[in-house]
């Protein structure tokens, strides 16, 4: 759950940065993105442009929290026992820049993950990205389809996470699974992307008009 949550959260950030830098026309109002520097060389990303892929907000399309909640409810979790996404987001934001606390999941004894979210992301994102960016193997209607657009990557990974919750409900409480996915995703959605994909983005903390520039695919 930690792995799929970690890659889903980073995919949400990647989708947001792709939208901001693509210059594609949109009828929706611009969404916010804040670049926060806590100390020299350390930055974190916040804003509705990322959150729209994670939480049910105006304009959201199949956000991660909705997919996870649906899977948990189908697996027998009561609505009152679903993860409190507002509390998760507030907690992660509160420990940003705290050194050792940021990136650590809060888990019950006995269900500690083998990898914390940042370590899971570093290990599994390269292969996940390659799979998501790969064109379909078989042409559809005798034509080769284009690779999946990056704005759809969070949805695909959210669907995968929801399947994992269903598949493991006999061995891990779905409420715990949902919480692990969401907290992992919120953590990795905020990190400096340079840590994971060096040279892909240029992020400027002093340029509020255009803080993000895409340098490569």
CB 55 within 8 A of CB 154: no
Residues forming a β-bridge with 42: 39
Could you tell me the pLDDT band of residue 133, with boundaries at 50, 70 and 90? very high
pTM score, whole prediction: 0.93
**And the tokens for 7?**
């890659």
pLDDT surpasses 90 at 169: yes
Dist CA 78 CA 96 (whole Å): 31
Based on its alpha-carbon atoms, the radius of gyration of the chain, rounded to whole angstroms, reads 17
pLDDT (tens digit per residue) in 29-82: 557 899 988 876 789 999 999 999 999 988 899 999 999 999 999 999 999 999
Q: What is the mean pLDDT of residues 194-214?
A: 86
Could you tell me the pLDDT band of residue 139, with boundaries at 50, 70 and 90? low
135 burial via Cβ count (<10 Å: 0-12, 13-18, 19+)? exposed
CB 177 within 8 A of CB 72: yes
CB 215 within 8 A of CB 201: yes
pLDDT surpasses 90 at 192: yes
Q: What is the pLDDT of residue 190?
A: 97
pLDDT surpasses 50 at 110: yes
């Amino acid at each position: 759950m930690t792995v799929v949550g970690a890659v889903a959260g980073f995919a949400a950030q990647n989708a947001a940065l792709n939208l901001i830098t693509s210059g594609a026309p949109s009828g929706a109002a611009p969404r916010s993105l804040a670049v926060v520097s806590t100390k020299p060389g350390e930055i974190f990303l916040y804003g509705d442009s990322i959150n729209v892929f994670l939480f049910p907000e105006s304009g959201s399309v199949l956000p991660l929290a909705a997919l996870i909640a649906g899977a948990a409810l189908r697996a027998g979790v009561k609505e009152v026992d679903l993860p409190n996404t507002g509390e998760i987001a507030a907690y992660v934001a509160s420990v940003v820049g705290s050194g050792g606390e940021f990136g650590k999941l809060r888990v019950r004894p006995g269900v500690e993950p083998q990898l914390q979210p940042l370590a899971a992301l570093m290990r599994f994102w390269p292969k996940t990205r390659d799979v998501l960016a790969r064109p379909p193997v078989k042409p559809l209607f005798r034509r080769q389809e284009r690779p999946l657009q990056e704005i759809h990557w969070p949805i695909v990974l959210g669907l995968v996470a929801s399947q994992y919750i269903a598949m493991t409900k006999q061995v891990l409480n779905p409420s715990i699974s949902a919480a692990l996915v969401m907290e992992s995703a919120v953590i990795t959605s905020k990190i400096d992307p340079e840590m994971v994909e060096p040279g892909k983005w240029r992020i400027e903390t002093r340029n509020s008009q255009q803080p993000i520039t895409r340098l490569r695919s």
